[in-house]
Amino acid sequence: MLINLEGIDGCGKSTQTILLQKKLEELGENTVVLKEPTNEPHGQKLWDVLHGKRKATNEEILEFFILDRKQHVDEKIQPALDNGTVVLMDRYYYSSMAYQVAGGLDVEYIRNKHDFAPNPDIVLIFDLPVSTALERVRGHSEADEFEKEEHLKKVREAYLNLESDPLVRIVDSVRTPEEIFEEVWKLVSEVRNE
């Protein structure tokens, strides 16, 4: 099973990933948490862009993501799935379908470039107002250029526009982690039992 956790920075997805992994392992599932971008060479280029050490167009950023993701799929994601492991993706190609769309690229163009990537069984998008997310982020890291409010509003809108995708579930994240997890577990359980 491949579970994709998404949302703007500060939405609480990392907390939910930890809670979900713990719950699945209590039920005897082998799980692995994988993050994107990775620390591989193409992922490192992305981190440099994200931290302002390197300039890149939106199209170049997407290409770095695709190269990083192809390597990630080949070396980590697909082998884990083939092994019967539940893969929890802290960001995946749905991130590109939000962040790169916010930068002006077409969502279907991005989706079509990911035909090599296994589809998730479910995509959980943790949604909350940008102002709330920024308050949280400012609390635990320095804001970089991707955390500017106007840009994040576009990213949030792009995520919400994915709601018609049959794999996507929008999760209201202006609640306590426990309340959010209750809904997360209900949604994941529905997919597990299909």
43: pLDDT confidence band, cut at 50, 70 and 90? very high
pLDDT of res. 141 = 54
Percent of the chain with pLDDT over 70: 95
* Residue 167 clears pLDDT 60, i.e. is over it: yes
* Average pLDDT score over the chain: 93
pLDDT of res. 144 = 54
* Residue 142 clears pLDDT 70, i.e. is over it: no
Number of domains making up the chain? 1
Q: Is residue 193 part of a domain?
A: no
Q: Is residue 66 part of a domain?
A: yes
The CA radius of gyration of the chain, in Å to the nearest whole number, is 16
102: pLDDT confidence band, cut at 50, 70 and 90? very high
Half-sphere exposure of residue 148, counting CA atoms within 13 Å on the CB side? 9
The residue among 113 and 146 whose pLDDT is bigger is 113
Q: Is residue 182 part of a domain?
A: yes
Pairing state of beta strands 31-35 and 86-90? parallel
145: pLDDT confidence band, cut at 50, 70 and 90? very low
Closest residue by Cα to residue 142 from 7, 16, 51: 51
| C-alpha distances out from residue 124 to 5, 114, 163, 168, Å | 5, 19, 10, 6
The residue among 68 and 9 whose pLDDT is bigger is 68
* Residue 25 clears pLDDT 60, i.e. is over it: yes
Q: Is residue 40 part of a domain?
A: yes
Task: Tell me the C-alpha distance between 122 and 191, whole Å.
Answer: 7
Dihedral sign (CA 169, 175, 177, 182): negative
Q: Find the domain containing 127 and state its range.
A: 2-188
Instruction: Work out the number of other CB atoms within 10 angstroms of the CB of residue 106.
Output: 11
Measured in whole angstroms, the distance separating CA 188 from the mean position of its chain's CA atoms is: 16
107: pLDDT confidence band, cut at 50, 70 and 90? very high
> How much is the average pLDDT of 68-77?
98
Peptide bond into 129 cis (omega under 30): no
Q: Is residue 81 part of a domain?
A: yes
pLDDT in tens, 122-140: 999 999 999 888 888 775 5
The domain that holds 41 is classified in CATH as 3.40.50.300
* Residue 82 clears pLDDT 70, i.e. is over it: yes
pLDDT of res. 134 = 84
Q: What angle do CA 110, 126, 87 make, to 5 degrees?
A: 70
pLDDT of res. 30 = 98
Instruction: Work out the number of other CB atoms within 10 angstroms of the CB of residue 98.
Output: 25
